[in-house]
Amino acid sequence: MFIRVLFIFMNFNLQKLVRENIKRLSPYSSARKEFAGKAEIFLDANENSFGSPLAAGYSRYPDPLQLEIKEKIAELEKVKTSEIFIGNGSDEAIDLLFRIFCEPDLDEAIICPPTYGMYKVSADINAVKTKEVFLTADFQLDVQGIRKEFNKWTKLLFVCSPNNPTGNLMRREEIIKIAKSVHGIVVVDEAYIHFSGEDSMIDEIKNLPNLVVLQTFSKAWGLAGLRVGLAFANEEIIALFNKVKPPYNVSQIAQEAILEAFNNREEVEKTITEIISEREKLIKNLQEFSFVKKIYPTDANFVLAKTTDAEKIYKFLLNEKIVVRNRSNVELCENCLRITVGTPEENASLMESLKKL
């Protein structure tokens, strides 16, 4: 077995995974990419030199490679700026992975339901077949099942950790074991990692040439409206992201706000601690209700609750002007509600409403 694993790993060849048209692609060269230096008069990008009467400061195209932000992230995560891709949400990174690696109507991706829905939607948009290897009863990876499904057309495996909608972390050693034994790209989506208390897998990108780690500013950083997500991988993979991405995929306003957020990192850390503490309270309180059969262990900023009748509770809460997510139609999540941890006031209102049920 060890020999087989070693053999496959040593045979990992990125160029064999990349679509031929992407290898051949001459990427668009934007004005700001061609000239990123200092000058007094910029007449190279067909911007409006008079500016806007509506908002000052946005008449110029933003940095296409978001270098200032990457420098901050590189320092924080101890990686090189060339090992970071910044996208219009991590949803953009997910879509680009299909566009870089998967030949439509030929290649395949493996997903592990119940999991984040965009992996399959992105695959469908890109005409890529998805194979489903369901999580085990305790919502962990079916390592053998995943390995068995890999064939020469399998380019991507999506692992969500902590997983949405179940909330739990996947076992790190198992992800590493899989990554070492398959020829495809292993994508670990860590959108919720900062609520878990566990280390990110970013530091594994130097050991695993086929690992891509996704993170986002939408959750722990509290900036979902800005649409800024991240991918970490070796330089070769990140260069492919940059080759394929739209030229100015992260707006000026988003870039400025993210830089500002780095000046307030202590606040971000404080909010994470508060959310974790509210999550524990929420779990305890929810367990008091007879219609809550089980709260699944969670490492994220939400809980998954198995109930006696999810549809009824969902509708009742809607009537109370509280929206949770009904995940009943998701396999292995029958009668489950996914509830995001709110502020102390919001969680108290939720409890008050549930008491009326």
Ligand X SMILES: Cc1ncc(COP(=O)(O)O)c(C=O)c1O
Binding region for ligand X (CB under 6 A):
89-91, 116, 160, 164, 189, 191, 216, 218, 224, 229
**CA–CA separation, 305 vs 299, rounded Å?**
14
Nearest residue (CB) to ligand X, 193 versus 286: 193
Residue 218 or residue 326: which is nearer to ligand X going by CB? 218
Q: Would you say 184 or 229 has its CB closer to ligand X? A: 229
Residue 191 or 283: the one with the smaller Cβ distance to ligand X is: 191
Residue 287: closest CA among 312, 305, 311, 301: 305
Q: How far is the CB of 212 from ligand X (least distance, A)?
A: 13
Q: Which DSSP string corresponds to 210-274?
A: TEEEEEESSSTT--GGG--EEEE--HHHHHHHHHHS-TT-S-HHHHHHHHHHHTTHHHHHHHHHH
E strands, the chain, are 84-87, 108-111, 129-132, 154-160, 185-189, 211-216, 229-232, 292-295, 302-307, 325-326, 336-340
β-strands 154-160, 108-111 pairing: parallel
Least distance (Å) between residue 42 CB and ligand X:
31
In whole angstroms, the minimum distance from the beta carbon of 136 to ligand X comes to: 19
User: Which residue is listed with tokens 């009742």?
Assistant: 316
CB of 163 to ligand X, least distance (A): 7
Measured from the CB atom, is 92 or 107 closer to ligand X? 92
Minimal distance, residue 308 CB to ligand X, in Å: 26
CB of 220 to ligand X, least distance (A): 11
Q: Between residues 127 and 224, which has the closer beta carbon with respect to ligand X? A: 224
Q: Which residue minimizes CB distance to ligand X?
A: 89
How far apart CA 338 and CA 116 sit, in angstroms, is 12
Tell me how far apart the 2 most distant CA atoms of the chain are, in Å: 69
